[in-house]
Amino acid sequence: MSVPQKDKLTVLTLGGGGREAALVRRFAACDSCGAQYAAPGNASTALFAGNISLDINDGEAVAVVCRLLAVDFLMIGPEAPLAAGVADTVRRLCPDTAVLGPGADGARLESSKAFAKAFMRRHGIPTAPATVVKADNIAEAKDLFARCEWPIVLKADGLCGGKGSIIVRDRKEAEQTLRRMLGGQFGDASRTVVIEDFLRGRECSVFVVTDGANHLVLPAARDYKRACDGDRGPNTGGMGAVSPVPGLTAEFLEKVEQRITLPTLAGLRAEGVAYRGILYLGLISVGGEPYVLEYNVRLGDPETAVVLPRTGGDVLRAFYDAACGRMESAYLPPSNDAAVAVIRAAEGYPGPVRNGLPVVVGALPQDAYVLLGGAVTGQDGALLTAAGRVATAVAVAPDIATAAARAARAAEAVAFAGAHNRTDIGR
Ligand code: GLY
């Protein structure tokens, strides 16, 4: 697409969680930011953007809004609209709107773990060996369980909000878990299961912004996926995040660039996928060598809350240039500060939670703020819970320990019935 350079951009961000709260806040601080809208948004996006009630998985409805509001830049936050092809529809119907996010073909890297494994095999990208199982080849899984080394990992093929990956420690647990998953534990998303070797090492997330040809790497982050302190309890969408990642070396990141990022982008091009968006590499370092645990096709939540405050420059302009296919000269200087995010969650999370509980935010420590990704403003102006991850407390400081202490205090300042958070994020 050929889009003229505009001084001020009208922006629509799709999504309504902490990630979108962080994006809208960061965009608002950019010179290129004009009018902002968010759909559906949340209590935090409402501070910087007009919230719009909209089915964000309906590409035609999103296209209508883009036309009505003369949106220059559409930022697609979550995976579901990407997998549903919203980017394709808006590109087709709204040539004046630049969209950051892959089409449904590129989104398969996240929406099908089996597809992603096969893609990595085709392009020689390091990842754990895996077997794909459905109800009709369950015998293959039983053979595997008879000879594998424990633990192993069972992953639902489709989208499960970060909860579809289960580590099993013996044959009995594996067979029971597999039966539950294939029987629809995660709906259709787990009718196909990827069984893979368990890799031991330190995890990190690397975020790449690309126009398909050029790319920029944003600051790396680590998220804390388990519900409880000490990395115990069930998997969640993420209970906190830190950036930079302690111990992550420039040498490791160069290996990621050469062995993973460049081959992935080249593989997409070779397969005819025009990928304009974010590529999120969920990585593990095994003896200093990077392996891909998963691809996602969007920014992470809560990682965005620590990545964006460490990303200098006009982030919005760089993202827009990527969406327009002209990011050759984009540069976003990383800051030397550290950022820590702590999720304040509702009782029961990651299971079902009660919404509509009043939320009060007390005094916050220096250089800390709260993103109310899982809260909405009620009719009388009161803040009410609206999701499991109610708030993301963020702090930026010269070092991780200071940022962690401030983020923890900021999380404690968010009060609602049943509120809780991990106390070991960044510690
Ligand atoms: N924090 C993990 C994710 O965004 O998928």
For residues 86 and 124, give the distance between their C-alpha atoms in angstroms, rounded to a whole number: 30
For residues 313 and 259, give the distance between their C-alpha atoms in angstroms, rounded to a whole number: 28
For residues 137 and 114, give the distance between their C-alpha atoms in angstroms, rounded to a whole number: 14
The string of pLDDT tens digits covering residues 294-337 is: 999 999 999 999 999 999 999 999 999 999 999 999 999 999 99
The answer to whether 394 and 339 are in contact (CB under 8 A) is: yes
Tokens 């990595």 correspond to what residue?
120
CB of 211 within 6 A of ligand 1: the answer is no
- 3 CA to centre of ligand 1 in angstroms: 32
For residues 16 and 76, give the distance between their C-alpha atoms in angstroms, rounded to a whole number: 11
For residues 264 and 261, give the distance between their C-alpha atoms in angstroms, rounded to a whole number: 5
What's 58-119 look like in SS3?
A: CHHHHHHHHHHCCCCEEEECCHHHHHCCHHHHHHHHCCCCEEECCCHHHHHHHHCHHHHHHH
What CA–CA distances, in Å, run from 115 to 120, 191, 266, 272, 400?
9, 14, 16, 15, 37
CB of 373 within 6 A of ligand 1: the answer is no
Tokens 């409402």 correspond to what residue?
46
The string of pLDDT tens digits covering residues 13-59 is: 999 999 999 999 999 999 999 999 999 999 999 999 999 999 999 99
Q: Which atom of ligand 1 is nearest to the CA of 296?
A: 5
CB of 303 within 6 A of ligand 1: the answer is yes
Is the pLDDT at 1 greater than 60? The verdict is no
- What's the whole-model pTM score? 0.96
- 197 CA to centre of ligand 1 in angstroms: 21
- Residue 246: helix, strand or coil by DSSP? coil
What is the 8-class DSSP label of residue 298? S
CB of 79 within 6 A of ligand 1: the answer is no
The string of pLDDT tens digits covering residues 143-189 is: 999 999 999 999 999 999 878 899 999 999 999 999 999 999 999 99
Strand order in the sheet with 215-217: 215-217, 202-210, 277-286, 289-296
- Tokens read off for 164: 């579809």
Q: Report the nearest-CA residue for atom 5 of ligand 1.
A: 300
For residues 251 and 241, give the distance between their C-alpha atoms in angstroms, rounded to a whole number: 22
- 92 CA to centre of ligand 1 in angstroms: 29
- 224 CA to centre of ligand 1 in angstroms: 9
- 6 CA to centre of ligand 1 in angstroms: 32
Quote the pLDDT of residue 2.
53
The string of pLDDT tens digits covering residues 188-229 is: 999 999 999 999 999 999 999 999 999 999 999 999 999 999
The answer to whether 132 and 140 are in contact (CB under 8 A) is: no
- Residue 100: helix, strand or coil by DSSP? strand
- 225 CA to centre of ligand 1 in angstroms: 8
Residue at 420: amino acid letter? H
Q: Which atom of ligand 1 is nearest to the CA of 298?
A: 4
Rounded (5°) CA angle 157-388-417: 160
- 2 CA to centre of ligand 1 in angstroms: 33
CB of 294 within 6 A of ligand 1: the answer is no
For residues 156 and 169, give the distance between their C-alpha atoms in angstroms, rounded to a whole number: 17
From 159, 160, 301, mutation site for ligand 1 pocket: most ligand atoms within 8 A of C-beta: 301
The string of pLDDT tens digits covering residues 8-19 is: 999 999 999 999
- Tokens read off for 111: 């929406």
Output the CA torsion sign for 13, 82, 222, 220: negative
CB of 300 within 6 A of ligand 1: the answer is yes
Quote the pLDDT of residue 161.
82
SS3 content of the chain, % helix, strand, coil (to 5): 30, 30, 40
Q: How far is CA 185 from the centre of its chain?
A: 22
For residues 324 and 2, give the distance between their C-alpha atoms in angstroms, rounded to a whole number: 7
Quote the pLDDT of residue 215.
98
The string of pLDDT tens digits covering residues 247-299 is: 999 999 999 999 999 999 999 999 999 999 999 999 999 999 999 999 999 99
From 223, 292, 425, mutation site for ligand 1 pocket: most ligand atoms within 8 A of C-beta: 223
- 208 CA to centre of ligand 1 in angstroms: 15
